[in-house]
Amino acid sequence: MTTDKLTDRQIKSASFEKYGKRTKLSDGAGMYLYIQPSGKYWRMKYRFGGKEKTLALGVYPDVPLKLARQRRSDARALIADGIDPNEIKKQEKAAE
């Protein structure tokens, strides 16, 4: 079981100005909120095929904390099944 660290209050109060630099706030199980001048982005770090990769989960507030955690769980399930979530995302984008 993962330990979720972030709260809605922490996310709302986090800003680039507050930290003065690009910052990552960890939520556990590889997921973090990446804060930069242009906004707040959900990302997930994972390893696949011996390489470290990053998966974009969405932009806050369009993707709230609960949905980001669900997307992280879905991605982890794919990885456990031997499927790279970034490849699935590329296939979905190509199908559009």
Distance, CA of 24 to CA of 32 (rounded, Å): 6
> What was the pLDDT predicted at 96?
84
> What was the pLDDT predicted at 87?
95
Which domains does the chain carry?
Answer: 8-91 (3.30.160.390)
> What was the pLDDT predicted at 51?
97
Question: Which residues on adjacent β-strands are paired with residue 25?
Answer: 33
Buried b / exposed e across 46-68, counting CB within 10 Å, b at 16+?
bebeeeeeebebeebeebebeeb
Q: What is the mean pLDDT of each run of 10 residues along the chain (96 residues)?
A: 79 94 96 97 97 98 97 97 95 91
